[in-house]
Amino acid sequence: MAGHFLIVEARFYEEIVDSQVAGAIAALEAGGASFERVAVPGALEIPGAIAMASTGHRHFDGYVALGCVIRGETSHYDTVCNESARGLMHLSVVGGLAIGNGVITVENESQAWARADVSQKNKGGDAARAAMAMAAIKQVFCGCTNER
């Protein structure tokens, strides 16, 4: 099952996310999957975009959530990290959506690049492979291929 996926990319750290997207696209193409992309302002908007897409007119077998949150001087980092992860987990567990979570949460920009770079940790590729794996598991257990 290759499937059709939606890459939801938070554009707050554009260059870092571009690297994550490159890794995700390469993984999806290697897996024979098709995909569409949508950009959102930041990590907090990713769960909302996935929720909207899952109830819309287009059909997706799964979702790849990509973004980067770098710790700053305030507690806003904790809110963004926790709430974006909580939102994605809620959509996965309660909504039954196949989601690969590639929202990286780091202390500094060098850690972000180490995780985003396709020649290093390639977390965008990991998220895409996770989404494809979860979509395949969903197919086994419920026989459904589309999110609607």
Active-site pick, 4, 57, 76, 90: 76
Bin 108: left if φ > 0, else alpha if -120 < ψ < 50, else beta. beta
Other CB atoms closer than 10 Å to residue 59's CB: what's the count? 14
- DSSP-derived 3-state class of residue 148: coil
Is 59 tagged catalytic? no
| CA–CA gap between residue 39 and residue 42 (Å, rounded) | 9
Residue in this structure with the two tokens 């990319």, named with its chain if needed: 9
What's the rounded Cα separation, in Å, for the pair 20 and 146? Answer: 25
Q: Where would I find the H helices in 58-122?
A: 76-93, 109-116
Which residues, other chains included, contact 96 with Cβ-Cβ below 8 Å and sequence gap of 6+? 138, 142
Indicate which residues carry an active-site annotation: 76
